[in-house]
Amino acid sequence: MDQVSGIKEKGNIALQEGKIEEAIQHYTEAIALDSCNHVLFSNRSAAYAKAGKYEQALEDAEETVNLNPEWVRGYSRKGSALAYLGKYDESIEAYNAGLKLEPDNAQLKSALASVKAQKASAATNIPADFFTKLPNFQDPKVYDALDSLMKDKNILKNLKDMMGTHGDGGEEPMDTDPPQPPKSQTPKQDPPKPQKKEEDNLPPEKREALNEKELGNEAYKKKSFEEALAHYNRAIELEPTEIIYQLNVAAVYFEQKEYEKCISQCEKAIEVGRENRADFKLIAKAFTRIGHAYKKMENWKQAKVYYEKSMSEHRTPEIKTLLSDVDKIIKEEERRAYIDPEKAEEEKELGNQRYKDGDYPTAIKHYTEAIKRNPDDPKYYSNRAACYMKLAAFDLGLKDCDKCLEIDPKFIKGWIRKGKILQGMQQQGKALNAYQKALEVDPNNKEALAAYRTCAVSFSSNPEEVRKRAMSDPEVQSILSDPTMRLILDQMQSDPRALRDHLKNPNIAAKLQKLLETGLIAIY
């Protein structure tokens, strides 16, 4: 963004000095770097208009409006370019669009009146200044009435006679905001007297310093960093109170990966800037560059400090994003630095002891510390889930079980503990599913088998209630009405071993799982 701003400023200076082609070149270069910047297109439109390239001026003006439809200057540029091209109705429409956004904009009102005068002049060959001198010519009602009168040939002839014009020449139409008529139509004028450049009024040392800076910039673009340094340092010698030259030197050090030198130079720039009341944005820029240097050195905490200092001088979305990114890196590094498996085991043993003593809240604290010390070990989550279950905090316990099984889906203790928590939440069908998952991991696990059988018996202790609850579920009704599923269920009764083959089909397995969860079937 700094690079784009610098190039745009060069274009502005060139335009002010009458170096039109140079200005166009600078704006084009800036647009290549930032093609969404409506101001760049607006400036280039103005430059094209001054160069008499009205088609290009119109294209840039239209792009300006497309990029930022709320920016009034874009409509001014568009109206001006259209007026040059003799498209008066479209020009009037563009100025009116701008006035809808800013009804009191004096520049747009004046330009609109001028274009209307040009339109009337083009139709009548009556000098445009005649119309602009009419009282209330800018009033739309007056203009519309005059436009109607101009269509009457007799009135038009009498008016021409009064003005002494008969359609055989007349004067050229007036200019519009702020362009000049096409070169082919512009009357010959004396060449303008050359204006003094702003630098011409500066003391010799400051003029020379500016020249050295420009030479340094050219070398910097070519990556001739030593040459750039020589020019920037010479500029500092000539004008030691200018913070920009100090920052330019720091930029070179940064490109050379001399980050310590860059930091030192920025600190000096800040000191010079403070002493000479430099713009706070430049002070912020110095702090930002220090932050960038520390970031390159992976000194994240110092980078954060200096980004925060930059924000205190001048808040920008870019620095806010950088600050957020660095803060995330710092937190992640702190998390990793805290990991210690040995200390995690120590905390787990303390938690186990507290669990045996029935001090579940304290046990939770030790298991939580163990998780922080080693967050990838599933058993710490499982142990903490057991504490939550004892405290009837089933939702927290279930969350820990899910995390435990996310880390290790074959952690059988996690499935058993999840099943018990689900039973505590009166979700028997889901509990059966959890126990079944445990048995898939280890079909001979005694704890899982016992839990599954107990849950199944409890779930089916009132078969009629189970059947009613299940049959009220539309999904269950659909499964039982499927002839294929009824055949499979019959086969399971006569040959339980057939179940293994049917479970290989994901669609059938899902339907059987649904019947298991509702308690309509059980597998022992």
Average pLDDT of the chain? 82
- CA dist., res. 67 & res. 74, Å (int): 9
Give me Rg for the CA atoms of the chain. Answer: 41
Query: Mean of the pLDDT values across residues 412-436?
Result: 90
Please enumerate in sequence order all residues whose Cβ is within 8 A of that of 72, keeping only pairs 6 or more positions apart, or say none: 98, 101, 102, 105, 108
pLDDT at 179 over 50: no
- Tell me if 45 sits within 8 A of 65, measured CB to CB: no
Q: Could you report the per-residue pLDDT of 36-50, keeping only the tens digit for each?
A: 888 999 999 999 988
Q: Could you report the per-residue pLDDT of 479-521, keeping only the tens digit for each?
A: 888 888 888 888 877 776 676 677 778 888 788 777 766 666 6
CB-neighbour burial class of residue 150 (10 A; exposed 0-12, middle 13-18, buried 19+): middle
Question: Lowest mean pLDDT: which of 99-103, 166-170, 391-395, 461-465?
Answer: 166-170
pLDDT at 220 over 90: yes
- CA dist., res. 65 & res. 81, Å (int): 13
Using pLDDT thresholds of 50, 70 and 90, give the confidence band for residue 176.
very low
For residue 205, the model assigns a pLDDT of 82
Q: Tell me 521's DSSP state.
A: -
Is residue 182 left, alpha or beta, with left meaning phi > 0 and alpha meaning psi from -120 to 50? beta
SS (H, E, C) 161-198: HHHCCCCCCCCCCCCCCCCCCCCCCCCCCCCCCCCCCH
- Tell me if 95 sits within 8 A of 75, measured CB to CB: yes
Query: Mean of the pLDDT values across residues 290-303?
Result: 94
* CA-to-CA separations, 521 to 159, 432, 460, 507, in angstroms, rounded: 103, 11, 9, 17
For residue 9, the model assigns a pLDDT of 86
Return the closest-CA partner of residue 387 out of 369, 414, 363. 363
pLDDT at 140 over 80: no
Say which amino acid occupies 510: A
Say which amino acid occupies 60: D
For residue 171, the model assigns a pLDDT of 30
| Cβ neighbour number for residue 23 with a 10 Å cutoff | 25
pLDDT at 307 over 60: yes
Q: Could you report the per-residue pLDDT of 439-464, keeping only the tens digit for each?
A: 999 989 999 998 888 887 766 555 66
**Hunting for tokens 């002494």 — which residue is that?**
164
CB-neighbour burial class of residue 79 (10 A; exposed 0-12, middle 13-18, buried 19+): buried
Say which amino acid occupies 488: I
Q: Could you report the per-residue pLDDT of 315-361, keeping only the tens digit for each?
A: 888 888 999 999 999 998 888 889 999 999 999 999 999 999 999 99
Please report how the helices 378-390 and 412-424 are oriented relative to each other, as an axis angle in degrees rounded to 10: 20
For residue 473, the model assigns a pLDDT of 77
CB-neighbour burial class of residue 358 (10 A; exposed 0-12, middle 13-18, buried 19+): exposed
For Cα atoms 380, 400, 408, give the angle at the middle one, nearest 5 degrees: 65
Return the closest-CA partner of residue 333 out of 370, 361, 303, 378. 303
For residue 297, the model assigns a pLDDT of 94
Q: What are the structure tokens assigned to 134, written together?
A: 């009419």
For residue 386, the model assigns a pLDDT of 94
Whole-model pTM: value is 0.43
For residue 104, the model assigns a pLDDT of 86
Q: What are the structure tokens assigned to 110, written together?
A: 């004046």
For residue 381, the model assigns a pLDDT of 96
For residue 204, the model assigns a pLDDT of 84
pLDDT at 119 over 60: yes
Share of the chain above pLDDT 70, in %: 80
- Tell me if 306 sits within 8 A of 288, measured CB to CB: yes
- CA dist., res. 465 & res. 115, Å (int): 87
Query: Mean of the pLDDT values across residues 217-242?
Result: 92
For residue 299, the model assigns a pLDDT of 94
